[in-house]
Amino acid sequence: MTQRVSVADVLLRLIGAAALAISSYVHLHGAHFYSSLGNTITQADLFYAQGAVAALVALWVLVTGNRWAWAAVAVVGAASFAAVMLYRYVDVGSIGPIPNMYEPSWQTNEKLLSAYAEAAAVVVAAVALLNPALRQRRR
């Protein structure tokens, strides 16, 4: 059975996927700079994991546009945005095997671009999840 996909749904999917693709690119592209930060788990490991998860969720929402995919977009975007803001403004220190990722600058490795993209992913996911036309179509 084929379902019709509205223009609004396609636009939201493209914007949400693009936002996570930007976040994925920034993390995967810059991960190698952090390979020496950490012992058990390096900051590079965390960047590679975030980049991979963001890419997979971007593809998932692009292909399906279902409620679970949008929820994943919101979670990945919010977690990534929270991490970049926390480690930009607070020197948390190491937490168990997680290294200290404090970096009090917006100039490093497209960090600001990533933060904007992650915030956009959360906003677009909220719009998609709260849009009555999209919710009704998915029932």
- What pLDDT does residue 47 have? 92
- What pLDDT does residue 37 have? 67
Alpha-carbon Rg for the chain, nearest whole angstrom, is 16
Mean pLDDT on 73-90: 96
- What pLDDT does residue 116 have? 96
Whether pLDDT at 125 is above 70? yes
- What pLDDT does residue 30 have? 87
The tens digit of pLDDT for each residue in 85-121 reads 999 999 998 888 888 888 888 876 688 999 999 999 9
The sign of the CA dihedral 101, 24, 114, 111 is positive
